[in-house]
Amino acid sequence: MSQPESVTPASIGIHDLALATSHYRLDLGALADHQGIDPAKYSVGIGQDVMSVLAPDEDIVTMAAEATARILERNGMDGIRTLLFATESGIDQSKSAGVYVHQLVGLPETVRVVELKQACYSATAALQFAIGLIARDPSQKVLVVASDVARYDLGSSGESTQGAAAAAMLVQANPGLMAVANPAGVFTQDVMDFWRPNYRSTALVDGKGSIKAYLNAIGGAWTDYLNQGGAPFESFASICYHQPFTKMASKAHRHLAVMAGQNPAPAEVADYLADTMRYNRLIGNSYTASVYVALASLLDTHDGDLTGARVGLASYGSGSVAEFFGGVIQPGYRDLLRVQEHRSIIERRIPLDHTAYEVLHKTTLPEDGREYRTAAETTGPFRFAGMGEHMRRYERTTD
């Protein structure tokens, strides 16, 4: 195995990683049956089996708070000075969704909170910003929380690539899971491959254009990574890609492999990426959380010992921004994994039939500020209770 990249100052990276998802799920076989098409179009064609669907009293805040609470239960709050909330499913044009999370999980007032947005990429930006804060003062810790719900119009080409999840990370010096390494390669280009104007609750997407933009941006970030002195392609034990659907990761990996002078067969690509795809196949697209869901999937499900292995992360956000960087898996990482916890949140979701799914999809919040209460359905520790006087209200479901 190649020597790990240098990390600075001593090492900074992800010490803990916790996921959360929804109360409900829709099996894509049920969607295919409703549409009268072969289920293989989804299970094979795009590499997806199930998508998470939010209950009426769930949103990006409740998922984020659940994942963050798990981090705090294990690690406490000492040293946490910043919470960075990454999302493209923002609930307010002014107030950060992270401020709601701050209150729900009981963080002290001496914690700065800010929300970041750049489509599916912003969690990676938050991670890099967190590393910069810790490099300045290694005694500090930063919570990076990515939470999103992917929603498209019923009957649209994007409907089967919906989903919902949150990933919370504790970033610190001397991390237990993965030390993030220098350098990072970045790429930005103004394209309209996917976007959601302020007046829409569902996104717009140019399907073929989005695939082209994704591959172009990931390739550009990889080229910049090499130009900055990055490690060779063959030195990565695994690469976690942003996964709007898992077959997109296969396309991206083959694209980078060809750029590196390789020509892997489809079976080789599938085998290389299998561990990074297991959770995303069952959750669906989670936008900013997606690449970190892939990382959790890799660490949780890989049979061998990854200690000392170099792992790549290829992050993409439409519009578009991409980044490629590497990390080194740390000794003892297995002691910090949440395998049973993550398996439980995926398996406990309640299946929906298509009629119930459509009802949930069509349910919208009032826009006139009137009193509105949501039905109590989630089994998670936090719920979105409703609205009144244009203000969102949240509750704990347990003492």
Please pick, among 88, 115, 159, 323, the residue that the annotation labels catalytic: 88
As a dihedral over the C-alpha atoms of residue 382, residue 384, residue 385, residue 387, rounded to 10 degrees, the angle is 150
Q: Which helix (H) or strand (E) holds 127?
A: helix 122-136
Q: Which residues contact 264 (CB under 8 A, 6 or more apart)?
A: 253, 254, 257, 272
Query: Which H helix or E strand runs over 64?
Result: helix 60-75
Residue 6: pLDDT band by 50, 70, 90 thresholds?
A: very low
Q: How far apart are CA 97 and CA 113, in angstroms?
A: 9
Count the neighbouring beta carbons within 10 Å of the beta carbon of residue 131: 25
Rounded Cα gap, residues 218 and 280, in angstroms: 19
Catalytic: 240? no
**Beta strand segments in 30-133, E:** 50-53, 80-86, 112-116
Matching residue, tokens 């549409």: 35
Please state, in angstroms and as integers, the Cα–Cα distance from residue 243 to each residue in 108, 208, 314, following that order: 34, 15, 10
Q: Cα–Cα distances in Å, from 58 out to 284, 341, 394?
A: 16, 19, 10
Q: And the tokens for 258? A: 């060809």
Q: Which two tokens stand for residue 225?
A: 């990574």
| Residue 385 scores a pLDDT above 50 | yes
Report pLDDT for 142.
98
Q: What is the pLDDT of residues 128-168, one digit of tens each?
A: 999 999 999 999 999 999 999 999 999 998 999 999 999 99
Q: How far is the C-alpha of 177 from the C-alpha of 334, rounded, in Å?
A: 8
- For residues 31 and 155, the answer to whether their CB atoms sit within 8 Å is no
Q: Which two tokens stand for residue 111?
A: 């914690």
Phi-psi region of 243 (alpha: psi -120 to 50; beta: other; left: phi over 0): beta
Provide the pLDDT for residue 345. 97
The single residue listed with the structure tokens 């100052």 is 9
Query: What pLDDT does residue 9 have?
Result: 52
pLDDT given for residue 2 in this prediction: 45
Mean pLDDT of 15-35: 97
What average pLDDT does the chain have? 95
CB atoms within 10 A of CB 215: 18
Comparison of pLDDT for 343 and 200, the residue scoring more: 343
Identify the DSSP state of 234. G
Mean pLDDT of 8-35: 93
Overall average pLDDT of the 2-8 stretch: 48
Mean pLDDT of 249-266: 97
CA distance readout (Å), 396 to 101, 167, 341: 11, 19, 20
Cβ-based neighbours of 117, under 8 Å, separated by 6 or more: 86, 87, 88, 90
pLDDT at position 101: 98
Please identify which of the residues 23, 102, 242, 342 carries the catalytic annotation.
242
Residue 154 backbone dihedrals phi, psi, to 5 degrees:
-60, 135
Other beta carbons less than 10 A from residue 68's beta carbon: 29
Tokens of 178: 């993965």
Q: Which domains does the chain possess?
A: 12-396 (3.40.47.10)
CB 84 within 8 A of CB 282: no
Task: From 177, 180, 182, select the one nearest 331 (Cα to Cα).
Answer: 177
What is the predicted pLDDT for the residue at 365?
Answer: 87
Helix (H, G, I), strand (E, B) or coil at 302: coil
Please list, residue by residue across 172-203, b when 16 or more beta carbons sit within 10 angstroms of its beta carbon and e when fewer do: bbebbbbbbbebbbbbbeebebbebeeeeebb
Q: How confident is the model at residue 193 (pLDDT cuts 50, 70, 90)?
A: confident
- From the candidates 23, 120, 342, 361, give the one annotated as an active-site residue: 120
Interval 71-91: pLDDT, tens? 999 999 999 999 999 999 999
Is 247 annotated in some ligand binding site?
Answer: no
Those residues with Cβ within 8 angstroms of residue 377's Cβ, 6 or more apart along the chain or in another chain: 23, 55, 56, 57, 58
Average pLDDT over every residue of 215-244 = 97
Share of the chain above pLDDT 90, in %: 89
* 251 belongs to an annotated ligand binding site: yes
| Kind plus residue range of the DSSP H or E element containing 388 | strand 382-388
Contact 169, 176 (CB under 8 A): no
